[in-house]
Structure 1
Amino acid sequence: MTAHTAIAPAYQARLDARAGRLSGPTANLAPGNVQANLAILPRDLAADFLRFCQRNPKPCPVLAVSEPGDPSLPDLGMDIDIRTDIPRYRVWHDGELVAEPTDVRDIWRDDLVSFLIGCSFSFEEAMLDNGLPVRHIEQGCNVPMYRTNIATRAAGPFSGPLVVSMRPMNAADAIRAVQVTSRFPSVHGAPVHLGDPALIGIQDIYRPDYGDPVEIKPGEMPVFWACGVTPQSVVAATRPPFCITHAPGHMLVTDLINSRLAAL
């Protein structure tokens, strides 16, 4: 690549994360490109976790799985190094969050398998194209995410509560959002709940478990989608000896194009 060759925005985002220049949330970064959630587990747990994802396709739509110990993901983009190319990671020991580094090369192991999971940031592009509000983008903050009382389907040692992301909108926009996001099953698809958050176990909508609270205007209702942070609630519940995830809202920006994920 010459000095005069333009670098694609998605690749630039990964290079910025790798160099430590990008350490914040990635919503609306490299518009048009698919972003992905991350869960990295030892090989002896990988088959069970893959079955967990297959049984829970709404929160955990798998985009790619690496070979053990291989940090590259050629199906998702050029020159990806999963150890460095996410702005911020989370490191878990026995289900406890122990660190949030920006680089995990120093703890990388030859038995680690990376799972890249579809992200709602992808369908937000379609929502914006349809004139629908995306409040956390408007407010320049991270999307609010909540643990619910909805159980996931267990697989091997993995089970735990569904996590949802929330975007407030009025009734007409909510109906349109169902139509728009239903076309993207590989990035969570249609909402799982509209309206009263208490019905899915959320006691205070202004105190998300992950991300930031956003304004809910008069006449709006909260609309909830299954979220790729669900594996983190599962890790906390089932306590595997070792796991690496992304920090919520801090995604891998891939070379895939959002529009190609549309089912219709």
Structure 2
Amino acid sequence: MTPQDARRMCRDGHVAPTAGLAPGFTQCNMISLPADWAWDFLLFAQRNPKPCPVLDVTEAGRFDTALAEGADLRRDLPLYRIWRDGALTAEVPDATEAWREHPDLVTFLIGCSFTFEAPLMAAGIEMRHIAHCSNVPMYRTTRPCRSAGRMQGPMVVSMRPIAADRVADAATITARYPAVHGAPVHVGDPAALGIADLSRPDFGDAVPVREGEIPVFWACGVTPQAAVMASGVPFAITHAPGHMFITDIPDTVWHV
């Protein structure tokens, strides 16, 4: 499937997590904010580059992006979240109507760890959520992000179980992709991040951690949604966790 095919499928109403779709092409998290909140968020992202690596920022009111010719950011993701006063008020497959509430929205596209999953799998490292046809598990942590203006909140992480003898390989491979979260932020004990129960993720779906495997945690682009909640942002549109924007940019662009 090409990125164009994947976006067309989403625009036509397909709703499902995008892990494994259009392999080899960059996927992005998305957050759209009124223009008067955009500077605060840009500074928040600059101060927290691991969970919020910005790949593109639109002009106020625009819903196109240089990352995908002809794309419509209001319609080309499979599922959107609408936030008001820091609370989730709706999930919709088309954000066009919500977009009209704030014609000055500025959209940030943020790197996603789905981008480095293809090289992990090419190295023989299983991605459990893809094998189970589910969404990657994501957790709010007790690790605070650096605040910026009115924006504050905790880091969110994604978790993948990795065989103990492949953890170093996984860390090395993902470290080569700093624009899409890079190396893990934590390996091992979930309690060190304030995660009480891996079977109860805050976002996404739980996956089993088998004997001989270690939970490995990467910074996650759902962190802006935790910041929206913690900061009481009056209005925002985001992707639903795991339901990403698929770009035309090859994953290899971000390899260093």
Report the TM-score when normalising by structure 1: 0.95
Name 1:45's counterpart in structure 2.
Answer: 37
Report SS of the residue matched to 2:31.
strand
Name 2:70's counterpart in structure 1.
Answer: 79
Name 2:240's counterpart in structure 1.
Answer: 247
Gap regions ≥5 residues in structure 2: none
Aligned residues of 2:163 and 2:213 also touching (Cα < 8 A):
yes
Give the drift of 1:215. Answer: 1.1
Q: Deviations over 1:152-195 (max 9, x none)?
A: 01101111110000000122211100000000000000000000
Report SS of the residue matched to 1:172.
helix
Which whole-Å CA distance do the structure 1 matches of 2:138 and 2:98 have between them?
28
Which whole-Å CA distance do the structure 1 matches of 2:180 and 2:133 have between them?
22
Name 1:138's counterpart in structure 2.
Answer: 131
Aligned residues of 2:82 and 2:98 also touching (Cα < 8 A):
no
Name 1:173's counterpart in structure 2.
Answer: 166
Name 1:190's counterpart in structure 2.
Answer: 183
Give the drift of 1:18. Answer: 1.0
The one-letter amino acid paired with 1:107 is: A
Of 190, 194, 214, the match for 2:207? 214
Which whole-Å CA distance do the structure 1 matches of 2:182 and 2:156 have between them?
14
Q: Deviations over 1:43-76 (max 9, x none)?
A: 0010110010010000000010001111111x10
Report SS of the residue matched to 1:122.
helix
1:248-263 aligned at under 5 Å gives the runs 248-263=241-256
Report SS of the residue matched to 2:55.
strand
Percent identity over the alignment? 53
The one-letter amino acid paired with 2:245 is: L
Report SS of the residue matched to 1:224.
strand
Report SS of the residue matched to 2:92.
coil
Of 38, 60, 65, the match for 1:68? 60
The one-letter amino acid paired with 1:65 is: V
Aligned residues of 1:11 and 1:78 also touching (Cα < 8 A):
no
Which whole-Å CA distance do the structure 1 matches of 2:10 and 2:133 have between them?
19
Which whole-Å CA distance do the structure 1 matches of 2:186 and 2:2 have between them?
33
Report SS of the residue matched to 1:126.
helix
Give the drift of 1:9. Answer: 1.1
Name 2:12's counterpart in structure 1.
Answer: 19
Matched, 1:101 2:102: no
Which whole-Å CA distance do the structure 2 matches of 1:193 and 1:65 have between them?
29
Matched, 1:113 2:111: no
| RMSD of Structure 2 on Structure 1 (CA) | 0.8
Report the TM-score when normalising by structure 2: 0.98
Name 1:32's counterpart in structure 2.
Answer: 24
Which whole-Å CA distance do the structure 1 matches of 2:215 and 2:178 have between them?
20
Which whole-Å CA distance do the structure 2 matches of 1:54 and 1:129 have between them?
31
Give the drift of 1:126. Answer: 1.0
Name 1:225's counterpart in structure 2.
Answer: 218
Question: How many equivalent residue pairs?
Answer: 254
Report SS of the residue matched to 1:235.
helix
Which whole-Å CA distance do the structure 1 matches of 2:124 and 2:214 have between them?
17
Which whole-Å CA distance do the structure 2 matches of 1:163 and 1:148 have between them?
6
1:120-135 aligned at under 5 Å gives the runs 120-135=113-128
